[in-house]
A and B are shown apart, each in its own frame.
Chain A
Amino acid sequence: MTNHWRDIRHADLILVNGANPAEAHPVGFRWLMRAKLDRGAKIIHADPRFTRTSAVADTHLRIRTGTDVAYFGGLINYVLENDLYHKEYVEFATNAGLVIKDNYQFQDGMFNGFDEATGAYDPTAWTYETDDEGNAEVDIDHPRSVLNLMREHYSRYTPEMVERITGIPQGQFLEVAKLVGETGRPEKVMTIVYAVGLTHHTTGVQLIRSGAVLQLLLGNMGRPGGGMNAERGHANIQGNTDHAISWDILPGYLRIPAPGQRNLDDYVKQSASKKLRPNAVNFFGENYRKFMVSLLKSWYGDAATKDNEFAFDRLPKPAANASWISIFDQALQGRMEGLILSGMTATSIGPDSNQVLEALSRLKWLCVMDPFRTTSSEFWNAPGMNPAKVQTEVFMLPATHWIEKDGSFTNSGRWVQWKDQVLPPEGEARHDHWILAELFLRVRELYEAQGGRYPDPVRELTMPYKDPRKPQLDEIAREINGSSLRTGKRLETFAALADDGTTAAGDWIYTGHYPESGNLAKRREGVQDPEKNDPTGMGFYPNWAWSWPANRRVLYNRASADPQGRPWDPKRPGISWDAAARAWVGDVPDYPPDAAPGADAPLPFIMTGEGLGRLFSNGVADGPFPEHYEPIESPVRNPLHPEVSATPAAFLYDKKAGRPNRFGTSADYPYVATSYRLTEHEHYVTQNVEHLVQLQPEAFVEVPTELAREKGIETGDRVRVSSKRGKLEVRAVVTRRLGPLQVDGKKIYQIGIPIHWGFVGINTGQHWLANALTPFVGDASSRTPEFKAFLVDIEKM
């Protein structure tokens, strides 16, 4: 989240897209309800289904799954056509006025820079005109200014086109557009709340970016009650991301080194953003080396020296993608010997679970660390599997549940909150990090005994814990915070990190959460005394836990005030310039704290090279402006450019690996399906919780009433849902909450597929895995699978 949960109550208008917070985030949903109850905010829920969120929203728009770029694009067009964007904000805080090089082109669904051979774009083909010193040219009236290119790009997204693509009738779209357009005024603010309903598409990154672009245009980014707010799917998914659960980043969103980078200079040059305007702060880019060197010092300690580039060559420089689907793709190709799973069950959560089961069968061994048996530890016993034919040796290591350990959760709003151990571990269960420490130490012993081809990266890694076999999470938190190697004292801010080897930090964005004064994630100065604990009255509660970075509660908050430093809306200030004190007051400023407003003042978005919010960006793999593309499996051709219907940059694993095609067409699979969670379960683990199994005991799919009538299906009947990849045999729930849509002149039915069941748990009927249906394909930038839009057929059993 750019903002945080409590902040949503400041919004006048709440767009919910690709999310169902009432069901997936019921506790956080209270803040949407507070906005509605306390200030009369309107909630607009655009979703394929009428859900428990729609039930309390002001408006529900039935949208075809995966078409949110068309919806947001239509809103962008409406805002530009009707001159409703926040002009002063846009000129002050976005790259609207920067001029793009004349090689930029978008025609018939293709941007310039596409390489047919690799099936990928070269994002460096989308750049600014620069002067001799590398400064981007500014001229908002230039025909190739970002603003003018944007007008042209989105002029195709008329209300008629929005209707043809999304299925939302023009009249209803325009009613919402009118409300959205009003938030371009400084005294109004809108927030966008989203979740994996935007992420889980081959256009996932662009779906999210289209919302962010709209927010920048309306001047809603950086403001309390505004922003682009991702609801994370688990208590600590944000923490996972921050600490590099994704293969392509190191902790703190530093890029993973790439082949050919021989030293830190190469790495920084290719990874850090370059300063593109004279008064851009470019904070991340300018300090990249300090963060990286401090990370290397944290990992390699004394073995990281100036002379050896701080052990830069100890880091892997992966030549191939190693994201989620890629792991199973490699296993399918017989290139993997073993796999360790911790904290999740691969069988259930990956797309095309039949293919994942096949991939697991090709491993020599599989190790599952979990408090419970999972569909992965029991994968050989899945419906349709023949255990006699599976040669994979499976090791089940009992791990502790989070309730059996302390540590921190980082929530969607970036608050790092420490929790205590509630129960002692049961039986022989060990913490995941103890198991990993033990494994590491044993591997290191082997390297020390036998040498090996390149033992240094393992031999030299530090384990600076009292008992290296049993690291305490408190010790790890201190290590992540980092310290001065001169004084041995823990640091209070990442501004103190250095690139000369005198500091260490395991994740620079967490530096400051555990200074010498103690673990700030344990702080609980909250609503028990709002006057004392919330001095601004804006709900920042600065002494409640700790929010990365720098305990800042709203990111980009310099943009919450006008160029003179006055809040756009004095009733909802983020930060403001106190001329007498010569300081920014309010939230922790996302800005140099004493930089006075003025013509030469630093630009407001301090993290980017431009110093501005990016309406046009080359940080994504599939286009500088978000464009609507159909899901890989779609019942219609793209009305915008039928010849380039789906994104050309999606990663087609089966095709690349030479495996047979596993995508279906609407001739065989006429219905659109989308998968989702229900409020009663949390993924798969709650199949072990009696009370929740009682609430939601059995797998089902939701079928539109009209389609059900055609097929003779009634609620409770058993139905077979099939895709090109697999099938489910489950109960039907017939409902008008899912209805038909008119898309480009064609009647489209959508079928809803809750994901929670499998073949392990209390209610042990042989249930089927919902992901048996979903396609093995990834987004161009993130390689996130397309769980939320695919084609199926349905029949009564």
Chain B
Amino acid sequence: MARITPGQAYGFFTDTSVCIGCKACEVACKEWNELPGNEPVFGDGYDNTGSLDAQNWRHVQFIDNVPDETSGTGQGKAWLMMSDVCKHCQHASCMEVCPTGAIIRTEFDSVFIQPDVCNGCRNCIAACPYDVIAQDEHKGVAQKCTLCYDRLQGDMEPACAKACPTESIQFGPVEELQRAARQRVSDLHDQGVTEARLYGEDDSIYGGLNAFFLLMDEPEAYKLPNEQNAVLPRRNNVPGYLGTLGTAVLAVLGGLIALRRRREPTPATSSGTTPPDPEAGDE
């Protein structure tokens, strides 16, 4: 790759159709960024990381749709694996809500939290639509993927992309990645893999994601907001604004209904010791 040059937009193209769920990205990220990681917890056998948080800036999701048959097609669509990461949104809500100016857009067009400016207010954590950010319990600051800002400054690609053995995680100038991604999705369609689709490579998702994806199912299957929902309330974004307003109204109504229901106690909630359902999504 040509030299990594300030002034140009860089990002990730994560092609989930070739992800093998090896988690080299998770480990490489922790090693480079000196993240000690969380206490070991048994999740479901394959995903024991659970979610993106202050210690996990890459997280491989496993979505098991394997049919109960003796023969199946893999092709990346039966057991979905997706290395999730901060999307480095063009319309970055975290940046919008940060009161101290700790969150900046860097010379590589990435979204970066300056740890020495962050005051730990948690606004960004609530604002991020992807649940990417979390507070480091020891340092008291918000943390997430930096697109390996320090490596980019030294002309090195991010650790996760460097470690990925199948080129599921590709790093480069966003425009080049977009071209490669469109080619890849077209090749897959030619091969009859019609499930393949891009997510965030154009401006339909939060104005465009610098870290975008090739997915093998609907975005919702990966707990990603779809095109209709992935817009920020902005004055210069009238449809989005109205859409969000509508969503907000519905949410308030929903909340009121939920409150009414909560007044009628059920055995499950009154006991207060219901174990978490292992099948349920990890919020």
Q: Which A residues lie at the B interface, using CB under 8 A?
A: 22-23, 26-27, 29-30, 33, 37, 40, 43, 45, 50, 52-62, 167-169, 172, 679-680, 690-698, 700, 702, 705-706, 714-716, 731, 733, 735-737, 739, 741, 762-763
The answer to the question of B18 belonging to the interface, with a C-beta cut-off of 8 Å to chain A, is yes
Q: Are A30 and B166 in contact (CB-based, < 8 A)?
A: yes
Quick one: closest B residue to A680, CB to CB?
B23
The answer to the question of B272 belonging to the interface, with a C-beta cut-off of 8 Å to chain A, is no
Q: Which of A29, A59, A706, A737 contacts B165 (CB 8 A)?
A: A29
Q: Give residues 229-283 of B contacting A (CB, 8 Å).
A: 278-279
Contacts of A52 in B (CB 8 A): 20-22, 79, 81
Q: What 5 A-B pairs come out closest when comparing CB atoms?
A: A697-B40, A733-B45, A22-B20, A57-B74, A172-B71
> A760–B23 Cα gap in the complex (Å)?
24
The answer to the question of B48 belonging to the interface, with a C-beta cut-off of 8 Å to chain A, is yes
Q: Are A50 and B78 in contact (CB-based, < 8 A)?
A: yes
The answer to the question of B70 belonging to the interface, with a C-beta cut-off of 8 Å to chain A, is yes
Quick one: closest A residue to B55, CB to CB?
A694
For B45, B49, B66, B278, the residue with the greatest tally of chain A CB atoms inside 10 Å of its CB is B45
The answer to the question of B30 belonging to the interface, with a C-beta cut-off of 8 Å to chain A, is yes
The answer to the question of B228 belonging to the interface, with a C-beta cut-off of 8 Å to chain A, is no
Given A33-B166, A690-B36, CB of A58 within 8 Å of CB of B49? no
Q: Which of B26, B42, B67 contacts A697 (CB 8 A)?
A: B42
Contacts of B78 in A (CB 8 A): 50, 54-55
B188 to chain A, nearest CB (A): 10
Q: Are B68 and A705 in contact (CB-based, < 8 A)?
A: yes
Interface string of B19-45 (1 = CB under 8 A from A): 111111011001100001111111011
Q: Are B21 and A679 in contact (CB-based, < 8 A)?
A: yes
Q: Are A737 and B23 in contact (CB-based, < 8 A)?
A: no
- Could you jot down 29 A-B contacts, CB within 8 Å? A50-B66, A50-B74, A50-B79, A56-B19, A56-B20, A56-B74, A56-B166, A58-B73, A58-B75, A59-B71, A59-B72, A60-B71, A62-B71, A168-B70, A168-B71, A169-B70, A690-B36, A691-B27, A691-B30, A694-B38, A694-B39, A694-B40, A695-B27, A697-B42, A700-B42, A706-B68, A733-B45, A736-B67, A762-B40
The answer to the question of B76 belonging to the interface, with a C-beta cut-off of 8 Å to chain A, is yes
Q: Are B31 and A61 in contact (CB-based, < 8 A)?
A: no
Q: A43-B74, A715-B279 are in contact. List 5 more A-B contacts (CB 8 A).
A: A26-B22, A33-B18, A169-B71, A691-B26, A763-B40
Q: Are B72 and A695 in contact (CB-based, < 8 A)?
A: no
Q: Which of B23, B39, B167, B191 contacts A695 (CB 8 A)?
A: B23
Quick one: closest A residue to B69, CB to CB?
A739
Q: Which of A55, A61, A714 contacts B71 (CB 8 A)?
A: A61
Q: Give residues 99-125 of B contacting A (CB, 8 Å).
A: none
For B17, B22, B37, B81, the residue with the greatest tally of chain A CB atoms inside 10 Å of its CB is B22
Contacts of A30 in B (CB 8 A): 165-167
> A697–B278 Cα gap in the complex (Å)?
16
Q: Are B70 and A22 in contact (CB-based, < 8 A)?
A: no
Contacts of B76 in A (CB 8 A): 55-56
Contacts of A27 in B (CB 8 A): 165
Quick one: closest A residue to B79, CB to CB?
A55
Quick one: closest B residue to A32, CB to CB?
B166
B147 to chain A, nearest CB (A): 21
Contacts of A679 in B (CB 8 A): 20-23
Contacts of A62 in B (CB 8 A): 69-71
> A736–B17 Cα gap in the complex (Å)?
20
> A419–B37 Cα gap in the complex (Å)?
30
Q: Are B73 and A60 in contact (CB-based, < 8 A)?
A: yes
> A56–B279 Cα gap in the complex (Å)?
24
Chain B interface residue count, CB cutoff 8 Å, equals 45
Q: Are A691 and B71 in contact (CB-based, < 8 A)?
A: no
Q: Are A23 and B22 in contact (CB-based, < 8 A)?
A: yes
Quick one: closest B residue to A176, CB to CB?
B71
Q: Are A695 and B79 in contact (CB-based, < 8 A)?
A: no
Contacts of B26 in A (CB 8 A): 691, 695
Contacts of B30 in A (CB 8 A): 691
The answer to the question of B220 belonging to the interface, with a C-beta cut-off of 8 Å to chain A, is no
Quick one: closest A residue to B37, CB to CB?
A694
Q: Are A50 and B72 in contact (CB-based, < 8 A)?
A: yes
A553 to chain B, nearest CB (A): 21
Give the A-B pair count, Cβ closer than 8 A.
146
Contacts of A696 in B (CB 8 A): 48
> A218–B24 Cα gap in the complex (Å)?
37
Contacts of A43 in B (CB 8 A): 74
Contacts of B68 in A (CB 8 A): 705-706, 736, 739
> A169–B71 Cα gap in the complex (Å)?
8
Q: Which of B21, B37, B70, B81 contacts A690 (CB 8 A)?
A: B37
Contacts of B137 in A (CB 8 A): none
Quick one: closest A residue to B75, CB to CB?
A58
> A55–B79 Cα gap in the complex (Å)?
6
> A169–B46 Cα gap in the complex (Å)?
29
Contacts of A716 in B (CB 8 A): 42, 44, 278
Quick one: closest B residue to A763, CB to CB?
B40
> A762–B40 Cα gap in the complex (Å)?
10
B278 to chain A, nearest CB (A): 5
For B69, B71, B279, the residue with the greatest tally of chain A CB atoms inside 10 Å of its CB is B71
A552 to chain B, nearest CB (A): 26
Quick one: closest A residue to B275, CB to CB?
A716
> A716–B44 Cα gap in the complex (Å)?
7
Q: Are A736 and B66 in contact (CB-based, < 8 A)?
A: yes
B37 to chain A, nearest CB (A): 5
B39 to chain A, nearest CB (A): 8
Q: Are B45 and A702 in contact (CB-based, < 8 A)?
A: yes
Q: Are B191 and A60 in contact (CB-based, < 8 A)?
A: no
Q: Are B64 and A735 in contact (CB-based, < 8 A)?
A: yes
> A763–B40 Cα gap in the complex (Å)?
8
Contacts of B81 in A (CB 8 A): 52, 55
Contacts of B37 in A (CB 8 A): 690-691, 694
A751 to chain B, nearest CB (A): 13
> A570–B23 Cα gap in the complex (Å)?
39
B68 to chain A, nearest CB (A): 5
Contacts of B23 in A (CB 8 A): 679-680, 695
Contacts of A45 in B (CB 8 A): 74
Q: Are B73 and A697 in contact (CB-based, < 8 A)?
A: no
> A60–B23 Cα gap in the complex (Å)?
22
Q: Are B20 and A55 in contact (CB-based, < 8 A)?
A: yes
Contacts of B72 in A (CB 8 A): 50, 54, 59-60
Contacts of A733 in B (CB 8 A): 44-46
Quick one: closest A residue to B65, CB to CB?
A736
Contacts of B42 in A (CB 8 A): 697-698, 700, 716, 731
> A167–B70 Cα gap in the complex (Å)?
8
Quick one: closest A residue to B28, CB to CB?
A691
Q: Are B49 and A700 in contact (CB-based, < 8 A)?
A: no
> A696–B278 Cα gap in the complex (Å)?
16
Contacts of A33 in B (CB 8 A): 18, 166-167
Contacts of B67 in A (CB 8 A): 736
Quick one: closest B residue to A714, CB to CB?
B278
Q: Are B79 and A692 in contact (CB-based, < 8 A)?
A: no
Contacts of B24 in A (CB 8 A): 26
Contacts of B70 in A (CB 8 A): 61-62, 167-169, 172, 739, 741
Given A27-B165, A691-B37, CB of A715 within 8 Å of CB of B44? yes
> A23–B22 Cα gap in the complex (Å)?
6
Contacts of B79 in A (CB 8 A): 50, 52, 54-55, 737
Contacts of A697 in B (CB 8 A): 40-42, 48
Contacts of A705 in B (CB 8 A): 68
Quick one: closest A residue to B35, CB to CB?
A691
Contacts of B21 in A (CB 8 A): 22, 52, 55, 679
